[in-house]
Amino acid sequence: MSAIYAVNLMPIEPILFSDNRSAREGEDHLIRDQDPSPHTIYGAIGASIARQRNVVAIERNEWNSKVADLLGTFEPEIAAGSESRAELLGYFYHDLQQAAWFPNPRHVVLRKNNANISLGSILKPERQAAHLADSSLAPEGFSHFFAHEAADDEADDDYFIRQNLLEKILGAEDAGEASPNDFLSVNKMYQPETRLGLRMANFKNQAEEGLLFSRPYRRFVSGVDFSTNTWRAFSIKAFYKTLAHLGSAIASHNLVAFLGGDRRRAMIRFEEELAEPLRDMREAVKARAKDSKGFFIYLLTPAVREAAWPKIDARPLIAAAIGKELTISGWNTNQPNQHPRPIRKLIPAGSTFFYEWKNAAERAGIIDTLWMQPVSNQYRNSGFGRMLIGVWQ
């Protein structure tokens, strides 16, 4: 029987979250810092479970003989989604007091006054006038747009918001005067730390003079959680689905996981088994759906950019608020045919896509059916494109 676990990944040392390209050549490209790919988190959790079953190498035969009952059969391809393998259902960040932080929805405008962030406005879809040109964001053109007058004090950087504020936004509830403490900038979560390296000539094990490269690390903020008097750092809280219960040998123990581009250490703990992740938030949204005109999907995790924008139940997408696309690649370790993974574009977390209801009877069912499901089943296992559902008036 499958089981869903809340998993905490807490960095012990600075972590490299790059665009997943190798730095061995050192001279032909620039490695950039960016948020972790869902596949990075998915792989770190799965590899941690595999190590507890004495899987030494991530290789098909050993994997299938030792850990397939928990995680499913070995599959090196990201785009081979299957419900018969373990799944990453989503993740967000925890601060030192274990408060939850989520990406700000892209249709929510934030304002910045010196160092203080406040809620500006929550944009709503408005039908385009007949004489306006169709949007270029979709081949068929969006029927609605977001009317907004730009202001000089708008916050341009990415921010995270508290769980209670996100719940109000998803439920089309009046957020009122949100507190500055409801917003978190990335520099309060981690500090960038660039490290230089020398290109190596591997055949003679010597550095090659004059050829440098740099790697962008993130040193996560740490301190004492005074409620428990324990040391903590900002951490990633993930929901991970296994094919069977992990058992006491793995669950509820502090273990070491290797996270990021160069396998830096993080403490991993399978904290609790859950029936339904974020259930209270989902029920709050359902309670507000009665008078709504439509619903929107909020990307809890980045989604792979495919040929068409997300379509739900074959209904037209009427409007969207998206961020700047990311790119990922990586390395396929399937032996003996190891090779680079293809470069994929990602729609960033926090992006929102709007739809209209067909009838009143479907509202609760749509929210239940889509909650924390993937935009595309093709990428479901690694956790790409996991959705929360909101409603709009």
Q: Which domains does the chain have, with CATH numbers?
A: 3-97+188-274 (no CATH), 121-186+279-392 (2.60.40.4350)
What are the pLDDT tens digits along the chain (393 aa)?
899 999 999 999 999 987 655 544 444 456 778 899 999 999 999 999 999 999 988 788 899 999 999 999 999 888 999 999 999 999 999 999 999 999 999 999 999 988 889 999 999 999 877 545 555 554 556 888 888 888 888 998 899 999 999 999 999 998 877 888 999 999 999 999 988 877 777 777 777 776 777 788 999 999 988 888 889 999 999 999 999 999 887 887 889 999 988 889 999 999 888 889 999 999 999 999 998 999 999 999 999 998 888 888 888 899 999 988 888 877 776 666 777 778 889 999 999 999 999 999 999 999 999 999 999 999 999 999 999 999 998
Predicted pLDDT of residue 29:
56
Q: Can you say whether residue 249 is alpha, beta or left, with left for phi > 0 and alpha for psi between -120 and 50 degrees?
A: alpha
Edge-first strand order for the sheet with 319-321 is 319-321, 352-356, 294-299, 387-392
Whether the full predicted model's pTM is greater than 0.85, yes or no, is yes
